[in-house]
Amino acid sequence: MAKSSLIFCTALAACLALAAADWSQGTATFYGGPDGSDTMGGACGYGNLYDAGYGINNAALSQTLFNDGASCGQCYVIICDGSRPGGQYCKPGGTAITVSATNLCPANYALPNGGWCGPGRPHFDMSQPAWENIGVYQAGVIPVLYQQVKCWRNGGVRFSFAGFNYFVLVNIQNLGGSGSVGAAWVKGDKTGWIQMSRNWGANWQALSDLVGQGLSFAVLSTGGQYIQFLNVVPAWWQFGMAFKTYQNFDY
């Protein structure tokens, strides 16, 4: 029995060491109030996070993680790191929490003990309900371990329209898999495929007159999966509308 236990403990230690290699160190704070209502909107342009598919378990990323909006929609699992200074504020019995990136934490964001969201700092400013899964409210800031993980979403990818006339701005939402958009194209009933460019956050633009045309989209996720969403927007679409699909990403 003792020998079996030793073998098990050695294997477990090796597994834990291997798993630890996938984690990165960072810090976390919270914002948005106990109901998370002030986390709606943000630098990804998702607007109402419930409508867009992200809900209350969300976070604003520091500049280092936000990557000029390329990280919008990505998912991160976060745990409190009790081995580092500030670890005494980890919530007793706290569990890992998975959040979606929906906002940017400004570089000048500061607490009494200094700024946390500037260049070079991997920091998560989490919704308060998400943060309280891992930290004690009085702490303010806690050390964390994090890693990017696969996103699991309900329903399909969603396309939300803004812009005017020849300027079409589309917010691409609710991606599964890698969670974020690497490239996008749009096609009207009277056009070929038009490559879009990132404007800001998760907003992608096309400088073309597409009003009055039914639209299709093609999206390449940052995970490398390419999906065509054919004829998903009817010709009667208008700016301010959003359209759901039945397709989503695995990676």
Tokens (6 digits) for 77 = 């699992």
Q: CA-CA distance, 203 to 152, in Å (whole number)? A: 21
Tokens 């009207």 correspond to what residue? 188
Residue 239 in this model has a pLDDT that exceeds 60: yes
Residue 148: half-sphere exposure toward Cβ, Cα within 13 Å:
17
The pLDDT tens digits for 88-146 are: 999 998 889 999 999 999 887 655 445 688 888 999 999 999 999 999 988 888 999 99
Give residue 139's pLDDT. Answer: 85
Give residue 66's pLDDT. Answer: 96
Task: Share the mean pLDDT of the chain.
Answer: 90
Give residue 120's pLDDT. Answer: 87
Which position has the higher pLDDT, 7 or 196?
196
Give residue 110's pLDDT. Answer: 54
The predicted model gives 76-86 an average pLDDT of 96
SS3 202: coil
Helices (H), 119-175: 128-131
The pLDDT tens digits for 177-201 are: 999 999 999 999 999 999 999 999 9
Q: CA-CA distance, 30 to 37, in Å (whole number)? A: 12
SS3 46: coil
Residues with Cβ within 8 Å of residue 134, at least 6 apart in sequence: 28, 78, 79, 80, 90, 91, 94, 95, 96, 97, 142, 144
Residue 18 in this model has a pLDDT that exceeds 70: no
The number of beta carbons lying within 10 Å of the beta carbon of residue 241 is 13
Q: In angstroms, what CA-CA distances link 139 with 87, 129, 132, 142? A: 10, 14, 10, 7
The pLDDT tens digits for 19-66 are: 455 899 999 999 988 998 999 999 999 999 999 999 999 999 999 999
The pLDDT tens digits for 146-171 are: 999 999 999 999 999 999 989 999 99
The number of beta carbons lying within 10 Å of the beta carbon of residue 230 is 13
Tokens (6 digits) for 81 = 């790191």
Tokens (6 digits) for 248 = 């989503």
pTM for the whole structure: 0.89
| pLDDT band at residue 86 using 50, 70 and 90 as cut-offs | very high
Give residue 14's pLDDT. Answer: 32
Of 137, 164, 159, residue with least CA distance to 218: 159
